[in-house]
């Protein structure tokens, strides 16, 4: 089951990463900061990423760039040997958790919301102006009954409701990913529900893409075996 999930999660993460990167390049350029939204993020993205995350991503990309110059004794030189570290290298170092954190995830209290001039916090502003565009089909899929039961600590405006539902589903998959990555037991996971999350997330980006992933996924077949501890 873990190996089946690893395959699905790899596709989901790649698709979400590419979709967010595409839209954030456009948005950051429109703000006058150029397409490199990690190295030179505009507000409020700079605050959302935070100096520590930016530094960690840049350091990891630099190490990866240095490793490209090491000739592997079995496979020979790296195909990108000598290539400078660029934006794609930085995006590749963003963790799944980093990606989830770009979306609305912690709604403010009604009292604190009154302090925002726009009525929206920084994650919500970024969703309205940029990250929501990475999920063009979300309005058609987000009212699935499983997503409609998403829980937030406080009420959220209708303009960002879909963003919170999406980030909730991504957070559930992030926790699955951590269990797989750390070889933890998976018997108590509601696999069919989490698989639905994965399919809906990809469907929000690309309906044809979700159908392809559904055909590739081995998770339903593994669950049908009804594994027990």
Q: What pLDDT does residue 150 have?
A: 66
DSSP code string of the chain: -HHHHHHHHHHHHHHHHHHHHHHHHHHHHHTTS-S-TTTSPPTTHHHHHHHHHHHHHHHHHHHHHHHTTSPBTTTBS-TTTTPPP-HHHHHHT--HHHHHHTS--SPPPHHHHTTSSSSS-HHHHHHHHTGGGG-TTHHHHTT-HHHHT---SS---HHHHHHHHHHHHHHHHHHHHHHHHTT---TTS-HHHHHHHHHHHHHHH-HHHHHHHHHH--HHHHHHT----
In this prediction the pTM is 0.92
Average pLDDT for the chain: 92
pLDDT tens digits for 126-167?
999 999 999 999 999 888 777 766 667 788 899 999 999 999
Ranges of each domain in the chain? 2-224
What pLDDT, in 10s, does the model give residues 187-212? 889 999 999 999 999 999 999 999 99
Residue 229 has pLDDT above 70, yes or no: no
Q: Check pLDDT > 90 for residue 56.
A: yes
Q: What integer pLDDT is reported at residue 185 of this predicted model?
A: 87
139 against 229, higher pLDDT: 139
pLDDT in tens, 85-121: 999 999 999 999 999 999 999 899 888 888 898 889 9
């Amino acid at each position: 089951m873990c190996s089946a999930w690893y395959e699905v999660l790899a596709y989901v993460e790649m698709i979400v990463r590419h979709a967010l990167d595409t839209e954030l390049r456009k948005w950051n350029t429109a703000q006058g900061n150029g397409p490199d939204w990690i190295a030179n993020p505009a507000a409020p993205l700079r605050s959302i990423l935070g100096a520590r995350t930016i530094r960690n991503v840049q350091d990891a990309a630099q190490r990866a760039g240095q490793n490209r110059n090491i000739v592997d004794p079995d496979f020979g030189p790296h195909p990108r040997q000598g290539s400078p570290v660029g934006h794609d290298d930085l995006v590749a170092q963003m963790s799944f958790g980093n990606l989830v954190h770009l979306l609305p995830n912690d709604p403010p209290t009604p009292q604190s919301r009154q302090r925002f001039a726009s009525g929206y916090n920084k994650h919500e502003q970024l969703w309205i102006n940029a990250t929501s565009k990475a999920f063009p089909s979300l309005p058609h899929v987000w009212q699935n009954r499983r997503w409609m039961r998403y829980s937030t600590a406080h009420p959220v405006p209708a303009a960002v409701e879909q963003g919170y539902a999406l980030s909730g589903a991504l957070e559930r998959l992030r926790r699955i990913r951590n269990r797989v990555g750390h070889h933890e037991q998976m018997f108590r996971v509601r696999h069919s529900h989490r698989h639905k999350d994965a399919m809906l997330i990809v469907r929000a980006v690309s309906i044809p893409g979700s159908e392809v992933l559904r055909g590739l996924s081995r998770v339903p077949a593994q669950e049908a075996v009804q594994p027990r501890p």
